[in-house]
Amino acid sequence: MIKKKAMLIDITLCVGCNACQDGCKSENKLAAGEEKRLSPSAYTALNEYNGVFVRRMCQHCDVPTCVSVCPVGAFTKLSEGPVLYDADKCIGCRYCMQACPFQVPRYEWSSTKPRVQKCKFCAPRITNGLQPACAEACPTGATKFGDRDELLREAYARINAEPDKYVHKIYGSDDVGGTSILYISSVPFEQLGFDTKLDKAPMPLLTWNALSKVPNVVTVGSVMLAGIWWITNRRTEVQRYEASQKQSTTTQTQDKQ
Amino acid sequence: MKSFSLPRITVWRVIAVVLIAAGTVAALARFTLGLGATTNLSDEFPWGLWIGFDFLGIGLAAAGFTIVAAVHLFHADRYEPIVRPAILTAFIGYLLVVLVLIIDLGRPEHFWHPLVMWNPHSVMFEITWCVILYTTVLSLEFASIVVERFKLHAPIRWIHNMSLPFMIAGVLLSTLHQSSFGSLYLIVPNRLHALWYSPLLPILFFISCIASGVSMVIFETLILSRNGRTLLAPELRANLAKIIAVTLGIYLVVRFQDMSSRGVLHEMMIVTYQSIAFYVEIVIGFVIPLALLMSRRVRYSRRGLFISTALVLIGFAANRMNTAVTGMEIWPSRTYFPSVLEILITLGIAAIGFSAFTLVARYLPIFETEQHDEGASAPSIYDVVTDTQMVSRPD
């Protein structure tokens, strides 16, 4: 059984040095240069809120919305954690961008053959036992890579050790069913651009509730429609037959006279 | 047959030609320069005007399945005269939507991928399949009109024999994807404004498409029957108008009941950009036409019907655009207004639709069936089903 991997991002330890983005860019061979927002050439970016730095990136959800909404299955979830994208399948409907609860996927709008871009959780590295480039690059330990269970325990331990410093929440532990990226912070999450109102249940359940009814609609619907057709058709037949009978009897009586 | 003559130049034709030409140029720009340079779509707002247009095109085409169901499955024979206009509207509507989708997709050359790469968990996957299959059904239904025009008897018989399963399939496919357009938004409770987000979105989309689909057919026949011709008997129009009124009533009840049970009625009380859009949509598109259509005088008046169905169509458009755009906007971080090129492409495609409808209605037997009496009417694909059934004596 492969252990689920995760990254714990301790916002209190981040100094905003941008080493994570640099490491990411060189690992993924993206155009160099500091970027303040996620983009097709920045899989991670530091957002600043009054001197507090929050690292944005794909959350690699346990039950990813993008995997569920993609009509061609261009997204896959690896059991280690990474959510990966296959540009050769993608038709460019951008439903993933519309549906992602964290608004992470970025599109190559300027290209005539655009692809969706987002963090790959350095899947090739972590399947080879290495840590992601950003975690390796982080000089303060604000980003720590490891097994998800262990990192959750560590996050609890850090909060318990300094309960006055930390907000009593691990963002990502159970939001939208849990994510591979976990955040702890000393500033309330809603002040740092996090959506704290997201449901604890995975988002794909919302559409699955509707989609799972499709087979029923088809079977019940076709039987019902065929039944209604048969009944109404029969009624018309009977009416016409009775009308023709009446007509023939009247013509017969007319003949006799 | 009339001798061939040059088409007359009218204002509408000039407008249509200009719009189509401008739209074609804009579409060429979109394909050569990419989406980023030609549209106002962005990472924050990946779906815009074109998705709204898709909702409109499909919704206005809804008469295609409602009328076919009413006439050929439920044997409400008196609506027979509008079966063909409804099928034509639906067929054109779906082709336009396919056209817009091809322009909207980032990788249009991959459009066929959903056929071989399946993801049954995706609403988009279900919609794609339904649209493909239903467009096929519609093209068969439309083909029967074409083969009749050219008196090709063998294909008529061939199509007849399969008509019942096809009609049932068509109705089911429509039901599914009309509602699935609403399901698309079930997954964005965090992004779509509470005035539009609802777990009942699929049901609300389904109910409203019935009202708009029937309105569209009345609206078209009223426009096309201007020169003294009457394409639909006044009683028939009035009956259809009554159906619209009932549907609008049901819609309002479900919508407000749902809003109250979700506890979001208070959102209406705050004056925001969104609540104003909500009022415009509900009052203009649902409440006023409902009030108008409750009056018998309006239902029997051409002008009254014209205004009420136009309002239903505007309200329907507002509802879909609000769901796709207004409800997703957050001022000022996430806003969207279509670019000139997006608008030109959309108008061009709409002009193609209107031109196609008038052209086909002129050259194919779309509005003719009602002039024949029952026995003499040209056999439509559906008649034969009932005819063969008639042979067996009921016992």
Q: Any CB–CB contact under 8 A between A66 and chain B?
A: no
Q: Whole-angstrom Cα distance, residue A55 to residue A48?
A: 9
Specify the number of domains making up chain A: 2
Q: Which two tokens stand for residue A185?
A: 């912070």
User: Could A99 and B119 be called an inter-chain contact, meaning their C-beta atoms sit closer than 8 Å?
Assistant: no
ipTM rounded to 2 decimals: 0.87
Q: Same domain, yes or no, for A180 and A88?
A: yes
- Does the residue A208 lie in any domain? no
User: Could A73 and B44 be called an inter-chain contact, meaning their C-beta atoms sit closer than 8 Å?
Assistant: no
Q: Any CB–CB contact under 8 A between A243 and chain B?
A: no
H or E segment and range at residue A161: helix A148-161
Q: Same domain, yes or no, for A125 and A223?
A: no
- Does the residue A128 lie in any domain? yes
State which residue of chain A sits closest to B128, comparing Cα positions. Answer: A71
The percentage of residues in chain A with a pLDDT greater than 90, rounded to a whole number, is 82
Cβ burial of A63 (10 Å; 0-12, 13-18, 19+) is middle
Q: Whole-angstrom Cα distance, residue B373 to residue B355?
A: 30
Task: Of A64-78, B63-77, B87-101, B192-206, give the lowest mean pLDDT range.
Answer: B63-77
User: Could B168 and A214 be called an inter-chain contact, meaning their C-beta atoms sit closer than 8 Å?
Assistant: no
Residue A21: CB partners within 8 Å, gap ≥ 6?
A34, A35, A42, A44, A45, A46, A134
Q: Please report, as a single letter, which amino acid is at residue A244.
A: S
pLDDT tens digits for range A30-65: 999 999 999 999 999 999 999 999 999 999 999 999
Q: Are B169 and A214 in contact (CB under 8 A)?
A: no
Q: Same domain, yes or no, for A190 and A231?
A: no
Selecting from B33, B108, B183 the residue whose C-beta is nearest the C-beta of A207 gives B183
The domain in which residue A87 lies consists of 5-203
Instruction: Tell me the residue ranges of DSSP E strands in chain B.
Output: none
What's phi and psi for A14, nearest 5 deg?
A: -75, 130
Q: Are B236 and B242 in contact (CB under 8 A)?
A: no
Q: Whole-angstrom Cα distance, residue B326 to residue B316?
A: 14
pLDDT tens digits for range B365-383: 887 644 433 333 344 444 4
- Per-residue confidence band for B233, with pLDDT thresholds at 50, 70 and 90: confident
Q: Any CB–CB contact under 8 A between B36 and chain A?
A: yes
- Does the residue A34 lie in any domain? yes
Return the pLDDT at A106.
96
Enumerate the H helices of B150-227 as residue ranges.
153-161, 163-183, 201-224
Closest CA of chain B from A198, distance in Å: 7
pLDDT tens digits for range B272-308: 889 999 999 999 999 999 999 999 999 998 899 999 9
State which residue of chain A sits closest to B106, comparing Cα positions. Answer: A92
Classify strands A45-49 and A5-10 as parallel, antiparallel or unpaired: unpaired
Task: With CA atoms as reference, report the closest residue to B173 among A99, A233, A225.
Answer: A225
Counting Cα atoms < 13 Å in the Cβ hemisphere of B265 gives 7
Q: How many residue pairs from chains A and B have C-beta atoms closer than 8 A?
A: 181
Q: Which two tokens stand for residue B11?
A: 């204002």
Mean predicted lDDT score pLDDT of chain B: 85
Return the pLDDT at A77.
95
Cβ burial of B61 (10 Å; 0-12, 13-18, 19+) is buried
Q: Which two tokens stand for residue B215?
A: 């309105």
The packing angle between helices B83-104 and B123-149, to 10°, is 130
Q: Any CB–CB contact under 8 A between A232 and chain B?
A: yes
Q: Which two tokens stand for residue A251?
A: 């013509």
What's phi and psi for A33, nearest 5 deg?
A: 120, 135
Q: Same domain, yes or no, for A195 and A218?
A: no
**Hey, which residues 300-359 in chain B have their CB within 8 Å of chain A?**
none
Q: Which two tokens stand for residue A133?
A: 């480039």
Q: Are A221 and B169 in contact (CB under 8 A)?
A: no
Classify strands A5-10 and A181-184 as parallel, antiparallel or unpaired: parallel
Domain limits, chain B? 14-370
CATH of the domain at A25: 3.30.70.20
Q: Same domain, yes or no, for A25 and A145?
A: yes
Can you tell me which residue has the tokens 């096929």? B136
Q: How wide is the angle at C-alpha B67 spanned by C-alphas B222 and B379, nearest 5°?
A: 95
Q: Whole-angstrom Cα distance, residue B124 to residue B54?
A: 13
Select from A118, A233, A235, A242 the residue whose CB has the most chain B CBs within 10 Å, as the one to mutate to test that interface: A233
Q: Any CB–CB contact under 8 A between A223 and chain B?
A: no
Task: With CA atoms as reference, report the closest residue to B106 among A13, A115, A100, A34.
Answer: A115
Q: Same domain, yes or no, for A37 and A123?
A: yes
State which residue of chain A sits closest to B173, comparing Cα positions. Answer: A218
- Per-residue confidence band for B167, with pLDDT thresholds at 50, 70 and 90: confident
Q: Whole-angstrom Cα distance, residue B22 to residue B158?
A: 42
Selecting from A105, A207, A237 the residue whose C-beta is nearest the C-beta of B123 gives A207
Selecting from A70, A98, A225 the residue whose C-beta is nearest the C-beta of B168 gives A225
- Does the residue A118 lie in any domain? yes
Q: Whole-angstrom Cα distance, residue A110 to residue A138?
A: 31
Q: Same domain, yes or no, for A170 and A227?
A: no
Q: Whole-angstrom Cα distance, residue B130 to residue B136?
A: 10
State which residue of chain B sits closest to A87, comparing Cα positions. Answer: B107
Selecting from B31, B105, B186 the residue whose C-beta is nearest the C-beta of A206 gives B186
User: Could B46 and A99 be called an inter-chain contact, meaning their C-beta atoms sit closer than 8 Å?
Assistant: no
pLDDT tens digits for range A77-115: 999 999 999 999 999 999 999 999 999 999 999 999 999
State which residue of chain B sits closest to A115, comparing Cα positions. Answer: B106
CATH superfamily of the domain spanning B14-370: Formate dehydrogenase/DMSO reductase domain (1.20.1630.10)
Give me the numbers of helices (H) and strands (E) for chain B, helices first please. 17, 0
Q: Any CB–CB contact under 8 A between A193 and chain B?
A: no
User: Could B107 and A226 be called an inter-chain contact, meaning their C-beta atoms sit closer than 8 Å?
Assistant: no
Q: Any CB–CB contact under 8 A between A176 and chain B?
A: no
Return the pLDDT at B390.
40
What is the signed CA dihedral for A216, A217, A220, A224, rounded to 10 degrees?
A: 180
User: Could B34 and A111 be called an inter-chain contact, meaning their C-beta atoms sit closer than 8 Å?
Assistant: yes
Instruction: Tell me the residue ranges of DSSP E strands in chain A.
Output: 5-10, 45-49, 52-56, 75-77, 83-85, 106-107, 116-117, 143-147, 181-184
Q: Same domain, yes or no, for A110 and A236?
A: no
Q: Any CB–CB contact under 8 A between A118 and chain B?
A: no
Q: Same domain, yes or no, for A119 and A219?
A: no
